[in-house]
Chains A and B, each alone.
Chain A
Amino acid sequence: MDYVDRIERARFLGREFLVWLWHESEAKEGVLTLSNGEACEVWLEAQLTLVGAEDEKSESKLKSAMPSASPEAKEALRQGKLPIKAKLRIARGTQTWGFLLNADTLSIASVQIPALLKEENDEKFYERMELVETLETILDDLLGQFIQLRTSETWDGQVMPQLRDWVRAA
């Protein structure tokens, strides 16, 4: 399997990552711990789109203040749908980012970054990049935690039963 094939073959993990993040956020009341021990807040908000694994056309597009908390969202999971797009809010310390995450490509859109201080064009660019890179570092850390777990023995033994209970209980 060549390198690009490996990337494509593992692409479905983006959708699973969003489910895991959603579950973690609910179970831990929004407060997740990064690998360095630092806390960050993660919330799904405003927009959530789920599609069927077998039938991509079977789509649930939910829009409300907290669509992930709605009965429709859990029902979609019970129907075997997984999230392909979600609006996330991540806060660390005094900084907060809002953005739309595409699970398949891991691309991010409509990013709201913490306020900019610099006014010069070049300086503004460096500041914007720094804020974007900080967001990416947090996301990569969470994604890394998920992958570590997903490839471990713990996944089938502990995490999957927890996820099933969570979906069933809703």
Chain B
Amino acid sequence: MGAFRGSISFTKFHVRGELPADFRDRFVESIRLRAFRDLDPSEEVDSRTGWCSVEHPFDLDLSYEKVFFNDYLNLGLRTDTWRIPGSLFKASFREAERAYCAEHGCEKLSRTQKKNLEALVMAKLRHKVVPAMNVVDLSWGIGEGVVRFFANSPKQHETMIELFEKSFELELVPDGAYVAAEKRGLAERLMEKLPLLEPFTLASTANV
């Protein structure tokens, strides 16, 4: 699902703050700084997130032409995660434990030895598997100040907002009735009233 193809499902965010005069060049520079970097099996990180080309998730060389589409800034938010199947890890760990005990003449591992061995087994397995990749499209209509993020999970929203705000030094606020009223130019006295409203109920026992 995304901006270019597939089913369309997205959450809208509003950009708050002033765009710098030379924002296009500046943004390309910031995006390149936060472009996705491949996971290295020898690193002790479970996942990594960064920007990629909206059209090709493996394209991490983000130039002006790959990011700006007229008045839109389009990016892919790529997250790679190591996912070692539990059964594979358990079997490999048991094997490593047996080998360690045979070599060192011990019957049982201490807590520290177990922890170290687990890390070792995990690192070995990471060399054998490919990280799971997740890519979500993001399309920022610069003129309208709206970001459409093509995923509706709160966790993905959190990750995106953090990277967006670091990259562009602008605040992102979620869409809602309040923002819609503001954009529509609802009178100031009504805007003041809006957050003070109480929810209604249609329950049959409610006061008529």
Where the two chains meet, the residues of A that have a C-beta atom closer than 8 Å to any C-beta of B are: 1, 3-17, 19, 53, 77-80, 82, 102, 105-111, 113, 121-122, 124-126, 128-129, 132-133, 136, 140, 143-144, 147-148, 150-152, 160-161, 163-164, 167-168
Contact = CB atoms under 8 A, between A and B. Distances in A.
B186 interface: yes
B139 interface: yes
Contacts of A6: 178, 194-195
Contacts, number: 142
B178 A7 contact: yes
A140 B174 contact: no
A70 B3 CA distance: 36
Contact of A124 (B4, B12, B203): B4
B184 to A, nearest CB: 4
Contacts of B200: 16, 160, 163
Interface of B: 3-5, 7-12, 16, 55, 69-70, 72, 74, 139, 141, 148, 152, 173-181, 183-184, 186, 190, 193-195, 197, 199-204, 206, 208
A128 B199 CA distance: 36
B177 A107 contact: no
A111 B70 contact: no
B8 A111 contact: yes
A105 B174 contact: yes
Given A107-B11, A121-B4, A121-B55, A14 B202 contact: no
A16 B199 contact: yes
Nearest to B205: A80
Given A13-B178, A163-B202, 11 more contacts: A3-B16, A10-B195, A78-B204, A80-B201, A80-B206, A102-B152, A106-B175, A109-B9, A122-B69, A161-B208, A164-B202
Contacts of B148: 132
Contacts of B173: 3-4, 7
Contacts of B4: 121, 124-125, 128
B9 A147 contact: no
A126 B176 CA distance: 25
A53 B8 contact: no
Contacts of B175: 105-107
Contacts of A143: 177, 180
A151 B190 contact: yes
B194 A151 contact: yes
B12 A144 contact: no
Closest 5 CB pairs of A and B: A80-B203, A109-B9, A13-B177, A111-B8, A107-B11
Contacts of B9: 107-111
A31 B62 CA distance: 47
A107 B195 contact: no
A151 B186 contact: yes
Given A102-B152, A105-B11, A128-B8, A77 B195 contact: no
Nearest to A167: B202
Contact of A125 (B3, B180, B190): B3
Nearest to B137: A125
B8 A132 contact: yes
